[in-house]
Amino acid sequence: MRIVSISGTIDSGKTTAIKELITILTAQGKNSAVIVNEDGEETYDEEFISSQQISVEHLRGG
């Protein structure tokens, strides 16, 4: 199992990187799961990832 951690400040490109990784891994037929840890009220990354039929576990402020 390979684990990748993506972190950074607001507007640093995290969601773009996640979208690219999901696209690449899906094209290769690989299974993925994502743990989302967001502090804000909005959960943009979680909503996008869930829409791609990727398993998501959400931690708030973890």
Considering its fold, how many domains does the chain have in total?
A: 1
Taking Cα atoms as reference points, which of 33, 44, 46 lies closest to residue 4? Answer: 33
E-only strand ranges, the chain = 33-38, 55-60
For residues 19 and 59, which has the higher predicted lDDT (pLDDT)? 19
- Structural domain range at position 40: 25-60
> Is 3 within a domain?
no
Of the two residues 11 and 46, the one the predictor is more confident about is 11
> Is residue 32 situated within a structural domain?
yes
The model's pTM: 0.62
Q: Does residue 43 form part of some domain? A: yes
Q: What is the pLDDT of residues 15-40, one digit of tens each?
A: 888 888 888 988 999 888 877 776 66
Structural domain contains residue 1: no
